[in-house]
Structure 1
Amino acid sequence: MIHYLFKRLLGLLPTLLIVAVLVFSFVHLLPGDPARLAAGPEAGPETVELVRQDLGLDLPLPQQFLRFFSHALQGDFGTSIRSKRPVATEIAERFAPTFWLTVAAMGWSVLLGLVLGMVSAVWRNRWPDRLGMTLAVSGISFPSFALGMLLMQLFSVQLGWLPTVGADSWRHYILPSLTLGAGVAAVMARFTRSSFIDILKEDYVRTARAKGLGELTVVVKHGLRNALIPVVTMMGLQFGFLLGGSIVVEVVFNWPGMGRLLVDAVEMRDYPVIQTLVLLFSLEFILINLAVDLLYALINPTIRFK
């Protein structure tokens, strides 16, 4: 296991290097001049050129990339063009709201998705299954921005129960987490149902039932552990998607997180912030996938990595 973990960690640098090259190339293809945006609309050509030199944008692209990547390896991600603050400081201030929003959305959506999926599998092709899968299809089909605006209109504007913007208390997390986690709950329900249907057909499940064990014991004790391996894989992927894909929800609720920061950075062509955020999202995906692989051994001790 330690050897497997070491090999996976060594693979981080080549992956991040490839991602960094792709992101750097994409960012510099965006229309607009960041030096002009930073200097202001009334600045003259001389001022714009001075700003360009100050930002290092006058250097050849290969030299700009090497400088960014070498500094990033040392923990220096540069200075934001928009705020003139260190990029690491900008992201550190926005990381916690996005992380806790993702955890809240993941918590309720995984729990609900597992329950709906298990119930649908046990009562397959009956009314609990039809109701659960109808809810799942609705969750997948309904756009997150439309769901967010609908929840705000109902619970904030009409009923006045919940706040719409900010991240100051647990009440601020309710509507954004519901909006963000709806699609995940739907995917988890459908995936859990499919996994459980296959597990419930296995011989050891029939043997457990033949021994006279209750249905709840058979499903939870004998079915859940074996059905969790593909479900955990999906959970890891969905958690990564939530961390990196909360942009729409954060814009709708004006959430002070990394998604909102990325939107502002793209509008201002803030190259250092864009590059660092995308690299961070890629690193999160890699680490989450690694954590999921390591969880396999805890769920099923017979699994060995070679």
Structure 2
Amino acid sequence: MGRYVVRRLGQLIIVVLGATLILFASLFVLPGDPVGQIAGSDKARDPAVIEQLHKEYGLDKPLVVQYGTYVGKLVKGDLGEDYTQRRPVTEILGPKIVNTAKLAVAAIIFDIIIGMFAGIVAAIKRYSVWDISVTFVTTLAIGVPSIVLGMIMQRIFVIQLDWFPLIADGSFKSMILPAITLAIIDAALVAQLARSTMLEVIRADYVKTAVAKGLSRRTVLVRHILRNSVIPVITYLGISFGALLGGAIITETIFNWNGIGLALIQAIQQNNNPVIVGVVTISVAVFVVLNLIVDLLYAALDPRIRLA
């Protein structure tokens, strides 16, 4: 197990380096000069100022040298300096990461409680009114884009009913709508996935054997059915949580939630490369680490899985 964890952490380094290298190369070929955003006035048109800023931020050096400098700083936990605010990227993104994490945790909790409950009950009461209702509602929810869902909820609950603030201030009340918007589609997918995997496990021979031995329904459900059917759900939740921690760009923009998704949009609009690369680096690292945690949970839930 230990060797597996070390190997996966080594893969984390390779993935982060590969993602940042591709992003560096992509930003290098894009039109526009970021120093125009740095000066922000007629000074940006002064060749002397432009040259000075290029040297200050290392933009006058080849791409390979710029990337090597970035990696050297990254090893020390330094993501560079923001072009517009002239502050360290880690200092800017720190509070935004916390806000995004709050939103992601709230959405995942909603996914687990609502999605798993609906899926389990639908599987147990197969072909019942409840099962048909769950299938219909989840299919409908999956087909609605998050941007449409978010705008509808904002229109009804913020503008018309005035139940929630228009501008998110980081409070629990302002987090409710964006968290629900993020969770609805994922909860629907979790419900469908839980239902299908439970129905497959229920038909397995070892479940029939457990029932034949006279085990109680609760014991069969918890020890045999749920434990074996939850693995695909954990896989999806792990991937979804990683994606949410990487920044829910659309939802954070709609509700003006001060997370790294909104920071990424603003950085792209400002041609602020250090923030763009910083957000991507953090997102990739978090995603790979969460995948490692999911793999370790596999072994805990199913002893037949040998990661090493």
Shorter-chain TM-score bucket reads: over 0.9
Aligned with 1:78: secondary structure? coil
Query: Cα–Cα, structure 1 residues 33 and 60, in superposed 2: closer, same or farther, change >3 Å?
Result: same
> What are the residue-to-residue correspondences of 1:264-279 with 2, within 5 Å?
264-279=266-281
Which amino acid in the other structure matches residue 3 of structure 2? H
Q: 1:242 aligns with which of 241, 244, 255?
A: 244
Deviation at 1:280, TM superposition (A): 0.7
Alpha carbons 2:89, 2:275 under 8 Å: kept: yes
The reply to whether residue 7 of structure 1 matches residue 7 of structure 2 is yes
Which amino acid in the other structure matches residue 175 of structure 2? Y
Which amino acid in the other structure matches residue 125 of structure 1? Y
| Inter-partner Cα distance in structure 1 for 2:216 and 2:169 | 45
Task: Tell which deviates more after alignment, 126-135 or 173-182.
Answer: 126-135
Question: Could you list the runs of 4 or more consecutive aligned residues of structure 1 that deviate by over 6 angstroms after TM superposition?
Answer: none
Which amino acid in the other structure matches residue 23 of structure 1? L
The reply to whether residue 209 of structure 1 matches residue 214 of structure 2 is no
Aligned with 1:11: secondary structure? helix
Matched residue, 1:34: 34
> What are the residue-to-residue correspondences of 1:72-87 with 2, within 5 Å?
72-87=74-89
Which amino acid in the other structure matches residue 254 of structure 2? V
String of CA shifts for 1:6-30, please: whole Å, max 9, x gaps. 2211222222111111111122233
| Inter-partner Cα distance in structure 1 for 2:182 and 2:167 | 15
| Inter-partner Cα distance in structure 2 for 1:245 and 1:71 | 23
Aligned with 2:258: secondary structure? coil
| Inter-partner Cα distance in structure 1 for 2:306 and 2:74 | 35
> What are the residue-to-residue correspondences of 1:60-139 with 2, within 5 Å?
60-139=62-141
The reply to whether residue 45 of structure 1 matches residue 46 of structure 2 is yes
Matched residue, 2:301: 299
Aligned with 2:305: secondary structure? coil
Deviation at 1:92, TM superposition (A): 0.7
Which amino acid in the other structure matches residue 45 of structure 1? D
Task: Tell which deviates more after alignment, 235-244 or 29-38.
Answer: 29-38
Alpha carbons 1:97, 1:167 under 8 Å: kept: no
The reply to whether residue 175 of structure 1 matches residue 172 of structure 2 is no
| Inter-partner Cα distance in structure 1 for 2:137 and 2:27 | 39
String of CA shifts for 1:230-275, please: whole Å, max 9, x gaps. 2111111111122224011110010111111111111111111111
Aligned with 1:28: secondary structure? helix
Which amino acid in the other structure matches residue 21 of structure 1? L
Alpha carbons 2:247, 2:262 under 8 Å: kept: no
> What are the residue-to-residue correspondences of 1:219-258 with 2, within 5 Å?
219-258=221-260
| Inter-partner Cα distance in structure 2 for 1:167 and 1:211 | 57
Report the identity percentage.
37
Q: TM-score, structure 1 length as denominator?
A: 0.94
Q: TM-score, structure 2 length as denominator?
A: 0.93
Deviation at 1:290, TM superposition (A): 0.3
String of CA shifts for 1:78-101, please: whole Å, max 9, x gaps. 110011000110111211110010
| Inter-partner Cα distance in structure 1 for 2:40 and 2:158 | 38
| Inter-partner Cα distance in structure 2 for 1:60 and 1:103 | 41
Which amino acid in the other structure matches residue 133 of structure 1? T
Q: Which runs of 5+ in 1 are unaligned?
A: none
Deviation at 1:157, TM superposition (A): 2.3
Query: Cα–Cα, structure 1 residues 208 and 290, in superposed 2: closer, same or farther, change >3 Å?
Result: same
Which amino acid in the other structure matches residue 156 of structure 1? V
String of CA shifts for 1:273-294, please: whole Å, max 9, x gaps. 1111101100011000000011
Query: Cα–Cα, structure 1 residues 245 and 94, in superposed 2: closer, same or farther, change >3 Å?
Result: closer
| Inter-partner Cα distance in structure 2 for 1:169 and 1:15 | 35
Task: Tell which deviates more after alignment, 110-119 or 39-48.
Answer: 39-48
Which amino acid in the other structure matches residue 253 of structure 1? F
| Inter-partner Cα distance in structure 2 for 1:147 and 1:106 | 18
Query: Cα–Cα, structure 1 residues 62 and 200, in superposed 2: closer, same or farther, change >3 Å?
Result: same
| Inter-partner Cα distance in structure 2 for 1:40 and 1:273 | 17
| Inter-partner Cα distance in structure 1 for 2:175 and 2:276 | 25
Q: Which runs of 5+ in 2 are unaligned?
A: none
Aligned with 1:33: secondary structure? coil
| Inter-partner Cα distance in structure 2 for 1:134 and 1:29 | 47
